[in-house]
Amino acid sequence: MPRRLPLVIGHRGAPGYRPEHSRSSYDLAVELGVDAVEPDIVATRDGVLVVRHENEISGTTNVADHPEFADRRTTKTVDGVKLTGWFTEDFTWGELSTLLVRERIPHIRPRSATFDDSQPILRLVDVLELVRAASLEQGREIGVVLEVKHATYFERIGLDLVPMILADLRATGWDTGDLPLVVEAFESTVLRRLREAGLAATYIYLLEAKGTAFDLQMALGDAAPTYPATATPGGLDRLVGAVDGISVDKRMILAPDRMGRATGPSPIVADAHERGLQVFTWTARPENGFLLKGFRGPGGKPAFGDYEAEWDVILRSGVDGVFVDHPDLGLAFFRE
């Protein structure tokens, strides 16, 4: 059953105001009243799940300032993309715990960058315990939307994320279904494995506006369906029974024309709902740098544009959940 109003999900906490995935980012998100928070997880060399958007951490930590880790800088290909920097899988948790987090986009969010180098990296268990404590303190259920990153890549280098995820959820009591748990990934294989393991959760398949899932590329080569093909009615038919819903790039709902003007809402949400699938979308951000061209205003990338007009298209689509970077603005618009 589609929701009357969408869930408002703190995307990496409240990164419009604090460095993403920092403790203060999550603390602020739950304080402001989000329905759930979204941690991304990657692994360390010794099998600890840490909360980072990517396994390459040069842009979100002070690792480059640690001379003892200078020789860890390297170049790797992750999901077909060549990257140079420092990677979580080359560190133990003990080593990563000495690093401090930084704002990823200081040119757009300079105020958030004032919190740089003041907080350590979090583990998944830290976020799970934080959310449980906030739920008890506030007397309401706060959910976790757990995004599994690069599962095939990690498995191929000997770091299978599935048993790590199950162990952390079991250790913190999040495996029982007592608190709202969503598991999402851009790879359907890891979602299927977690579901087959009996994990009580809602399973959401992430879809990019273009490209193909890395796990399917590895398994099927050129025969792998693209993300856009999966978002068609025929593609959605094949997801029924395999996942509980999809989470799509907002552009798939806004349907911009060549001039950057929204022509949506597109039929993707209605198509999914007809098949009993939930739909989330990412990411509702107010800054000009993230808005469609038709909604941008003066002041450059950091300034807020006509975000409410863009978000109105998303709201009218009937989505079940929206990821936001500024929880107060998201709650004010999508819930009030």
The Cα 72–Cα 65 span in angstroms is 12
- 266, 183, 272, 273: which is closest to 233 by C-alpha? 272
Number of H helices, E strands in the chain: 14, 12
Neighbours of 312 (CB within 10 A): 15
Residue 335: per-residue pLDDT: 87
**Cβ(125)–Cβ(168) below 8 Å:** yes
Identify the segments of the chain with pLDDT beneath 70: 1-3
The Cα 196–Cα 190 span in angstroms is 10
pTM beyond cutoff 0.95 = yes
- The single-letter code of the amino acid at 195 is R
The Cα 52–Cα 75 span in angstroms is 18
Please spell the DSSP secondary structure of 203-237, one letter per residue: EEEEE-SSSB-HHHHHHHGGGSPBHHHHTSHHHHH
Please tell us whether the domain made up of 7-47+122-334 is placed in CATH 3.90.1150.10: no
SS3 readout for 118-179: CCECCEHHHHHHHHHHHHHHHCCCCEEEEEECCHHHHHHCCCCHHHHHHHHHHHHCCCCCCC
Residue 274: per-residue pLDDT: 98
Give 236-268 pLDDT, tens digit per residue.
999 999 999 999 999 999 999 999 999 999 999
Residue 336: per-residue pLDDT: 73
Q: What does the domain layout of the chain look like in residue ranges?
A: 7-47+122-334
